[in-house]
Amino acid sequence: MEVENTDLKDFKLRPMKCECNFLSKSDGSAILSQGQTVALVSVNGPLDIKMTSQSIEKATLEVLFTSKVGKPSVADRYKEHVIRQTCESAILGSLYPRTGITVTIQELEDYGGFTVCSINCACLALLNAGVAMRHTFAGVACAVDEQGNIQLDPDAAQLETARATMNFVFDSREKRLITSLTNGSFSEDAYKEALERCRSASQLVFDFYKDIVSKYSYVIG
């Protein structure tokens, strides 16, 4: 089943489409497109893991990222780190001590905003897998052009001319900022404006999640 949320266009975000249960051999999976950017995420676990990797307090979370072409780079390893920290902030790992959860991310197409696309796809895959979470999370990207204008969810062409890019991830309960990635030159005022605009736009991402979950729950029921 494919679900589209056209209301995102009101915030000048690219259309989002998602299909869950995309992979048959995982506990949960999702393929998500934001514009032409596409990520595929699978979740396996909680599963038994080697004793040397176990934590007596919580589940051990592993995030694996695979780029479309070439071998993993330093940037890819950094993406794994950021996504793992974001997921760990949401997962109720204490419910799954001595087990492991693996989140595997596959880059299919990157036309801008792949980091937040993969983060959003990871959230949907975790929901699809039934992993208990204290909150969901949503990422929104933006760019600052040469004139200082803020562009939400920039595409590849806009990123090429941007002097700065920002990626923000918020929790669903209080819209609290849980992850922030920035690159380039920008003023403090630009950062604050971008943060609040992305915070507002994140609500539509959360609404999109609700549409996905309710439709798949209806199918299952």
112-124, pLDDT tens digit by residue?
999 999 999 999 9
pLDDT over threshold 60, residue 2: no
CA separation (Å) from 68 to 65, 112, 114, 115, 147?
10, 14, 12, 14, 33
CATH of the domain at 17: 3.30.230.70
162 phi and psi angles, rounded to 5 deg: -75, 145
* Mean residue pLDDT across the chain: 91
CB contact at 8 A, 83 and 124: no
> CA 57, 61, 62 angle in degrees (round to 5)?
150
- Is pLDDT of 9 > 60? no
- pLDDT class of 216 with cuts at 50, 70, 90: confident
When pLDDT is cut at 50, 70 and 90, the band that residue 170 belongs to is very high
User: Cα–Cα distances in Å, from 99 out to 76, 136, 205, 219?
Assistant: 25, 21, 30, 30
Please count the structural domains in the chain.
Answer: 1
How many CB atoms are located within 10 Å of the residue 53 CB?
11
pLDDT at residue 5 is higher than 60 = no
Question: How many Cβ atoms sit within 10 Å of the Cβ of residue 196?
Answer: 12
Collapsing DSSP states into helix, strand and coil, what is residue 92?
coil
- Structural domain including 194 reads 3-220
Residue 215: the pLDDT is 83
Whether residue 1 has pLDDT greater than 70: no
